[in-house]
Chains A and B, each alone.
Chain A
């Protein structure tokens, strides 16, 4: 089966949850779905459909910027913007990404670890670096950040610019 046929097959499987489909590259489709449909969609595509494998989960901060009138500096508009979670599934050269948009407040999505235990790392990573809550994910300990890292500070958010205090020594 060639790449386009594979992609067509993936689109077909998750059709009932699809909101919108985009084509960022020849061999890719981004399939926007609602956050609450992530489990049935992953189940249909991977667990039952056996379409490729989950290659990565990308957490993405997509803020909207406003230009400060006086300083001409580009600043993040705290009111607007969104977080995104991309579940990349690879099958040969084809990549289908299930893509969900989440608000900054209450960025929550169901964990898929009960179906796919190996997704735990990806979820932990997105959890602590971007601040997405994965409901019912089995391990919530810090994976990468230090133990004394302040709660609610997510380094890969665009608003994070480092801490005030410089490191000593």
Chain B
């Protein structure tokens, strides 16, 4: 791909597939001295053609395929798909199933936010925090394994409900786990708001104003850190959220620090929800019957993934196979919004700005640095850029 210097915008896209961190991708940043003036990206290295593939599978097989769009937030993909199919078929999963869906979704959010905290700390050169948060993340991974049998791709959903139930022993384990994590999270909150070196990398850096965030469509914690009141769990409650509502967390600062604070506060909110669901789990069935052939129609199924709104556009032609499933993952929205506003920031801040949106990013395999004035092209990899950032702030 030819480097582009004439266009003024910084664009880094993610495709319908949802590549996780440390996966392949290709960015091009154009810089003038230290300041980024343009960037572009090339993805598709892990494109698996799932939107096409799902058209050749029946509705049930599609569930298992779509769960594998993303390894970090697999449950929300399966949930969005299952909720969409249920809407098309005009059935509703029982309340107990809906509550368990929410429970797993919140546990997944805890694991995802802790994973992100570690990665973001690592990109900032703060590896101790990375090690601690990933160690603590094991608690929630173990809990997920205990209740679903899997550490990733939990496969909790079926069309019309869930396939797992929560036993009393599991409830106890969940409550204990939440207590431990809550105590640890207190510590993280202290680190990200008080540690001088850390604040040097986050405070007033990568600021996205409320206006930019609203217009460009920033979603999830990235948007909420700029004061945007958008959370599908609140705006359009699904699954168990009407019965176990969530409080929206926002901040007005719009900088990287705010994105840390919003996510950490969301962790508290998730702990509270997990406790509440465990204490008040509705009794009843786990599934309802969903027909094999799904009636004709088009639905949009939206859920709040850890990174923001996940949108499924689903079209049925009345047969046992979907006509079209369109997936718009939250990272795609946030790349567009954050990176449009990233121009003018320092190159050394890019790792943190990019990590700050919690990109499920495939990326950073290779980076081409083009010096606007001398038109020399240097090829860096992500590690060079990360080191550059750390050295710059030493």
Q: Which residues of A contact B (CB under 8 A)?
A: 24-25, 27-28, 46-47, 50, 53-56, 58-61, 86, 88, 90, 92-93, 95, 116-122, 124-125, 129, 138-139, 141-146, 155-156, 160
Q: A124 — which chain B residues lie within 8 A by C-beta?
A: 13
Contact mask for chain B residues 1-30; partner A; CB cutoff 8 A; 1 contact, 0 none: 110100101010111110000000000000
The docked-state distance in angstroms from the alpha carbon of A25 to that of B236 is 13
B16 to chain A, nearest CB (A): 7
Contact A56 B326 (CB under 8 A): yes
Please tell me if B328 contacts chain A, counting CB pairs below 8 Å: yes
A-B contact pairs, 23 of them (CB 8 A): A28-B300, A53-B230, A55-B333, A88-B300, A88-B313, A90-B309, A92-B236, A95-B300, A116-B215, A117-B216, A118-B337, A118-B340, A120-B336, A129-B16, A138-B7, A139-B4, A141-B40, A143-B41, A143-B42, A144-B16, A146-B44, A155-B49, A156-B51
* Consensus secondary structure, chain B interface: mixed
Contact B299 A139 (CB under 8 A): no
Number of interface residues of B (CB under 8 A): 47
* Given A50-B215, A93-B235, A139-B4, residue A119 in contact with residue B333 (CB < 8 A): no
* Given A54-B217, A55-B309, residue A144 in contact with residue B298 (CB < 8 A): no
The docked-state distance in angstroms from the alpha carbon of A79 to that of B250 is 52
* Consensus secondary structure, chain A interface: mixed
B216 to chain A, nearest CB (A): 5
Please tell me if B76 contacts chain A, counting CB pairs below 8 Å: no
Q: B333 — which chain A residues lie within 8 A by C-beta?
A: 55, 118
Within 8 A of A (CB), among B110-126: none
Please tell me if B275 contacts chain A, counting CB pairs below 8 Å: no
Contact A120 B299 (CB under 8 A): no
Closest to A157 in B: B52
